[in-house]
Amino acid sequence: MPHASLISVHSQDDRLTVAGRGAWTSEYADELEAAVNDTAHAYAKPKGVEIDLASVERMDTFGALLLERLRRAWAGAGIEPTVVGLAPRYKVLLEELARMGHEPAPPTRRHEGILERFGHEVVNAAKDALSLLNFIGATVAAMLRVVARPRSFRFTAMVNQIDRVGFRAVPIILLITFLIGCILAQQGIFNFRRFGADIYVVDMVGVLVLRELGVLIVSIMIAGRSGSAYTAELGSMRMREEIDALRVMGFDPIEVLVVPRILALIIALPLLTFIGSMSAIFGAGLVSWGYGGITPDVFLDRLKLAIDLDQFKVGMYKAPFMAATIGLVACMEGLRVGGSAESLGAHTTASVVKAIFLVIVMDGVFAMFFAAIDM
């Protein structure tokens, strides 16, 4: 189809009348683009322009884009063309393209002062705390519904999550806690030896591992390993609109996806804490024997004198609460993911950081509580 069949130009007293005809669609992309470019170059500075589209039979996005290009070519020279005869069904398309070309520039962000930035962070922290409280309430409500209707509970999903966050985490938990125990014992012996008190390293390791470090190290590792996985899984489901699909089918996403994961963590983390604490004490015993000359019999006898059942209980009491905190933060961040990969990465990072922060804060609160009740 020749160019003239798509566009014809009539000039009178330097005023142009550009008439469009035929189909302005991607089917005739090459011919239409050439016609538009030739017209814009041949009549660069007219006094006035009228674009008559009464004879245009069909127009798609490509045709509207070329029309907008032609209009902007003259508008850039200070001449605003008048478009007449456009079918009503195409006006919205042309108006949208024109609007996109006149988007206001984003305001330049000025540099924030230290106090202003601190204020923003405080407000954001308050919003996050409020969101977490709302999510806790929604999760508790979902658990109560599960208790009222036990058949609706996804037991298989919970067992699968226990396998993933519990059993599969045992090797790395054993390795890291073993190394932590070894380091504690080596440093303790190195420093206590100056005072001739090598044996007190057993007291230090026993109390620290059972009360504090065992549950704390395991919780931090689970926050980084399983918490990030929870956030990534739920975030990916949200990006693929699977969460919305569950709602459409009449299921509560929190009851279906969140409750089994949190319960799995609450069950798995105390078990991992016990395994990790035993591994740390075993590592400390080996180093004490090889580096400090404290035989296993002496180590065990001193350990029995240094600790009692309360030391063990303190660490185990903390574990379910830390597990619930990690699960709640991870699932909440996963359900807040937007539609982009950048959002998924940001919320996964936020999940790990917030969970570790809350675990450490909670450990401090528990330490003050148990000290207050003399336990």
What local confidence, expressed as pLDDT, does residue 229 receive?
93
Decide: residue 7, CB within 10 A, 0-12 exposed, 13-18 middle, 19+ buried. Answer: buried
Q: What was the pLDDT predicted at 53?
A: 79
Nearest alpha-carbon partner for 286 in 366, 183, 173, 372: 183
DSSP 2-13: -GGGTEEEEEET
Look at residue 16 and give its three-state secondary structure.
strand
DSSP 351-367: HHHHHHHHHHHHHHHHH
Mean pLDDT of the chain: 85
Phi and psi at 216, nearest 5°, equal: -70, -45
Contact 308, 207 (CB under 8 A): no
Lowest mean pLDDT segment, chosen from 23-32, 105-114, 255-264 = 105-114
CA-CA-CA-CA torsion sign (84, 85, 88, 93): negative
HSE of 363 in the Cβ direction (CA atoms, 13 Å)?
23
From CA 153, how far away is CA 223, in angstroms rounded?
25
Count other Cβ atoms within 10 Å, centred on residue 142. Answer: 20
Cβ atoms 25, 60 nearer than 8 A: yes
Give the per-residue pLDDT at 231: 94
Percent of the chain with pLDDT over 70: 92
What is the per-residue pLDDT across 266-286, written as a single tens digit (0 to 9) for each?
999 999 999 999 999 999 999
Residue among 356, 278, 285, 266 nearest 312 (CA): 278
Give residue 104's pLDDT band: very low, low, confident or very high (50, 70, 90): very low
pLDDT in tens, 88-97: 777 777 776 6
The closest alpha carbon to 260, from 132, 152, 137, belongs to 152
Q: CA–CA separation, 264 vs 222, rounded Å?
A: 12
- Asked if the model's pLDDT at residue 297 lies above 90, the reply is yes
**Position 362 confidence tier, pLDDT thresholds 50, 70, 90:** very high
Average pLDDT, integer, range 72-83: 75
pLDDT of residue 23: 81
Please answer whether residues 344 and 232 qualify as being in contact, where contact means their C-beta atoms are separated by less than 8 angstroms: yes
- The rounded distance, in Å, linking the Cα atoms of 212 and 364 is 9
Helix, strand, coil abundance in the chain, percent, nearest 5: 75, 10, 15
Whether residue 171 contacts residue 165, with contact meaning beta carbons closer than 8 Å, is answered with no
- Residue 101 pLDDT: 54
pLDDT tens digit string along 301-336?
999 988 888 889 999 999 999 999 999 999 999 999
Confidence band (pLDDT; 50, 70, 90) for 3?
Answer: very low
Residue 281 exposed, middle or buried by CB count within 10 Å (0-12, 13-18, 19+): buried
What is each CA distance from 181 to 186, 218, 240, 364, in whole angstroms? 9, 13, 44, 21
Grouping H, G, I as helix, E, B as strand and the rest as coil, residue 204 is: helix
Tokens 């007219």 belong to: 46
- Residues 239-249: pLDDT tens digits? 888 988 988 88
SS3 assignment, position 74: helix
Residue 168 pLDDT more than 50? Answer: yes
Q: How confident is the model at residue 103 (pLDDT cuts 50, 70, 90)?
A: very low
| Three-class secondary structure of residue 83 per DSSP | strand
Contact assessment for residue 348 and residue 228, using Cβ atoms and an 8 Å cutoff:
yes
Evaluate if residue 121 carries a pLDDT over 60. Answer: yes
- Whether the per-residue pLDDT at 175 is higher than 90: the answer is yes
104 CB contacts (<8 Å, ≥6 apart)? none
- Residue 200, pLDDT above cutoff 50: yes
Q: Is the pLDDT of residue 261 over 90?
A: yes
